[in-house]
């Protein structure tokens, strides 16, 4: 008797379900428009999350397809899974960012040390490992009484050893001015070898490569062609370092673009010795760039973005067009602008000749 | 009598020898600040930065612990070669040690300037670390020789 009742109940429920299923199918078309709109909103929110802050992948609510929502069948979300690395700088403050940093370089970097100490900028809390004429080839050499190595706590030592002792979690490198003319075929390889050594000794350290700066167009100590050749080698190094940073997870900070003349040399107003060394006003710009870079990393996990040169910008000087830090080596833009200007001049000349 | 005749010349000779070996002493009460002020006024310098005592080690490679008074200047812009340094060594401190430290610093910046601008290097080439009694001095400028002579004149 009980079995008969249960069977009847089961059959009734089955008929009811089938009839409801038929009704729902007819409503799907009407519901689709609402569901699509809802899905769009969810997708927008997710895109925003991806761009602005790091969210655990598991926290992203899976979006169900129309069919899933109708049938209530759980399926693997269709949107591609966003694998986001945590922002390793998120817990830093502006102060700690530089307290835990070391600046390594030659006399130009030493200039930043002087500037930051005297002006008591936030970078003055960093460790400075600088020595005049320092080059990547020196960094790779052994320490001897006559070797070029910076002092750490009064002791001459290899940079990688000093970084290990210091405990810095970021290193800002500025080399090249004393490399390119001395080791024309090796300057980039030596730089990379030096970075590799640092990574071997302190694997968790973040590498920041500061673009090398250029000489002025007509230094006291060399003729213009020599200065141009020197600048070209430095430009080549910057381009290689920029690409290296993209491919190897390093950070490339462009400090030369805002300091350049229209001809792509160091602007005379930023040199303190009519050659390569910088003025306080140049270091003021460096400091702004470093601060913006640090704050961007702390807040977003990413370097600051830069604006591409537009047609409207072409009439402006390069230094006005590219003002941010993570721009690629600036001379690419400079050459582009120069070519455009030349082409424009040629067109104008041709038009004038035709008119004549 | 014979003994007196022998001893008197020896005594006179010894007196001269001892006098010539005795360290020169600062015969005036000119202060380090006064000396640097005069030199900065009378000779040509670019804009200069007055170095606080707590930055002396960083700027001049020498600790202020040696001195009872220091007046030191370097260029406002980085990399200028011009320097003005006057210090009075404390009683009980060795002027030779202080001079050695300052000389090491001077040799370093002179060596660096040799790699760059010959005009700047010439200024350093003509300068030298000078000591007299408990005064330690270094002046690097376009007329380093003239400035040092002026210092000697001031402390007579």
Number of CB pairs, chain A paired with chain B, less than 8 A apart? 45
Candidate from A143-157, A261-275, B61-75, B107-121 with smallest mean pLDDT: B107-121
Provide, as residue numbers in chain A, all residues whose Cβ is less than 8 Å from the Cβ of B117: 220-221, 273-275
| B78·A221 Cβ contact <8 A | no
The answer to whether residue A13 scores a pLDDT higher than 90 is no
- Give the pTM: 0.70
The answer to whether residue A56 scores a pLDDT higher than 50 is no
User: What's the mean per-residue pLDDT of chain A?
Assistant: 77
Is B64 within 8 Å of B86 (Cβ atoms)?
A: no
Provide, as residue numbers in chain B, all residues whose Cβ is less than 8 Å from the Cβ of A118: 49, 55
Nearest by CB to A221, which of B77, B79, B116? B116
Q: Does B50 touch chain A (CB under 8 A)?
A: no
Tokens of A288: 């702004």
pLDDT band at B22 (very low <50, low <70, confident <90, very high): very low
Sheet with strand A206-210: strands edge to edge: A127-130, A101-105, A170-174, A206-210, A251-253
In the block, residue with structure tokens 């300052």: B102
Tokens of A51: 């761009």
Q: Does A36 touch chain B (CB under 8 A)?
A: no
| B77·A279 Cβ contact <8 A | yes
The answer to whether residue A326 scores a pLDDT higher than 50 is no
Closest CA of chain A from B104, distance in Å: 14
| B79·A277 Cβ contact <8 A | yes
Is the ipTM higher than 0.85? The answer is no
Q: Does A133 touch chain B (CB under 8 A)?
A: yes
SS3 content of chain A, % helix, strand, coil (to 5): 55, 10, 35
Which 3-state string (H, E, C) describes B38-92? HHHHHCCCCCEEECCHHHHHHHHCCCHHHEEEEEEEEECCCCCCCEEEEEEECCC
Nearest by CB to B77, which of A133, A221, A272? A272
Provide, as residue numbers in chain A, all residues whose Cβ is less than 8 Å from the Cβ of B59: 114
Compare A11 and B63 and report the one with higher pLDDT: B63
The span from the CA of B50 to the CA of B64, in Å, is 14
State residue A110's pLDDT score: 95
Mean pLDDT of B67-73: 96
> Residue A354, exposed/middle/buried by CB under 10 A (0-12, 13-18, 19+)?
exposed
Provide, as residue numbers in chain B, all residues whose Cβ is less than 8 Å from the Cβ of A280: 76-78
Q: What are A119-133's pLDDT values in tens digits?
A: 999 999 999 999 988
The answer to whether residue B89 scores a pLDDT higher than 60 is yes
Closest CA of chain B from A272, distance in Å: 6
The CA–CA distances, whole Å, from A90 to A86, A249, A290, B129 equal 8, 17, 17, 51
Mean pLDDT of A261-280: 94
State residue A339's pLDDT score: 31
State residue A17's pLDDT score: 63
Is A287 within 8 Å of A242 (Cβ atoms)?
A: no
Percent of chain A at pLDDT above 70? Answer: 62
Mean pLDDT of B35-41: 97
Return the residue of B nearest to A106 by Cα.
Answer: B112
Nearest by CB to A111, which of B59, B79, B120? B79
Nearest by CB to A275, which of B75, B80, B116? B116
Mean pLDDT of A199-212: 97
The span from the CA of A135 to the CA of A110, in Å, is 13
The answer to whether residue A228 scores a pLDDT higher than 70 is yes
């Amino acid at each position: 008797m009980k079995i008969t009742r249960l069977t009847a109940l089961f059959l009734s429920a089955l008929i009811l379900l089938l009839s409801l299923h038929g009704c729902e199918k007819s409503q799907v078309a009407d519901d689709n428009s609402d569901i699509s709109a809802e899905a769009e909103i969810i997708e927008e929110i997710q895109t925003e999350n991806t761009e602005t802050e790091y969210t655990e992948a598991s926290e992203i609510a899976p979006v169900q397809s129309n069919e899933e929502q109708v049938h209530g069948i759980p399926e693997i979300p269709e949107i591609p899974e966003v694998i986001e690395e945590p922002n390793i700088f998120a817990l830093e403050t502006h102060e700690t960012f530089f307290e835990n940093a070391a600046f390594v370089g030659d006399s130009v970097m030493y200039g930043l040390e002087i500037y930051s100490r005297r002006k008591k900028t936030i970078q003055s809390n960093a460790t400075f490992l600088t020595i005049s004429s320092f080059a990547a080839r020196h960094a790779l050499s052994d320490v001897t009484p006559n070797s070029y190595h910076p002092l750490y706590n009064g002791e001459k030592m290899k940079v990688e050893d000093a970084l290990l002792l210091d405990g810095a979690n970021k290193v800002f490198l500025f080399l090249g001015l004393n490399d390119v003319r001395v080791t024309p075929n090796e300057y980039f390889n030596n730089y990379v070898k030096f970075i590799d050594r640092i990574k071997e000794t302190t694997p968790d350290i973040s590498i920041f490569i500061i673009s090398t700066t250029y000489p002025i167009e007509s230094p006291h100590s060399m003729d213009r062609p020599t200065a141009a050749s020197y600048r070209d080698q430095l430009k080549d190094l910057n381009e290689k370092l920029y690409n290296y940073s993209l491919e190897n997870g390093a950070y490339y900070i462009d400090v030369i673009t805002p300091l350049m003349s229209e001809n792509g040399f160091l602007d005379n107003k930023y040199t303190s010795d009519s050659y390569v060394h910088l003025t306080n006003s140049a270091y003021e710009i460096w400091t702004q760039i470093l601060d913006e870079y640090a704050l961007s990393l702390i807040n977003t996990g990413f370097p600051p973005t830069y604006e591409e040169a537009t047609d409207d910008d072409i009439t402006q000087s390069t230094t006005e067009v590219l003002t941010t830090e993570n721009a690629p080596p600036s001379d690419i833009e400079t050459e582009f602008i120069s070519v455009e200007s030349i082409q424009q001049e040629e067109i104008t000349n041709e038009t004038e000749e035709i008119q004549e | 009598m014979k003994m007196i005749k022998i001893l008197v010349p020896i005594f006179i000779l010894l007196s001269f020898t001892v006098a010539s070996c005795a360290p020169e002493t600062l015969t005036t009460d000119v202060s380090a600040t006064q000396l640097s002020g005069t030199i900065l006024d009378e000779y040509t310098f670019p804009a200069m930065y007055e170095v606080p005592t707590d930055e002396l080690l960083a700027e001049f490679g020498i600790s202020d612990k040696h001195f009872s008074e220091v007046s030191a200047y370097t260029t406002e812009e980085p990399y200028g070669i011009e320097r003005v340094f006057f210090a009075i060594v404390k009683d009980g401190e060795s002027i030779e040690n202080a001079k050695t430290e300052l000389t090491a610093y001077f040799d370093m910046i002179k060596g660096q300037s040799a790699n760059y601008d010959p005009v700047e290097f010439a200024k350093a080439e003509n300068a030298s670390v000078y000591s007299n009694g408990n005064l330690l001095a270094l002046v690097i400028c376009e007329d380093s020789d003239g400035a040092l002579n002026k210092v000697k004149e001031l402390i007579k």
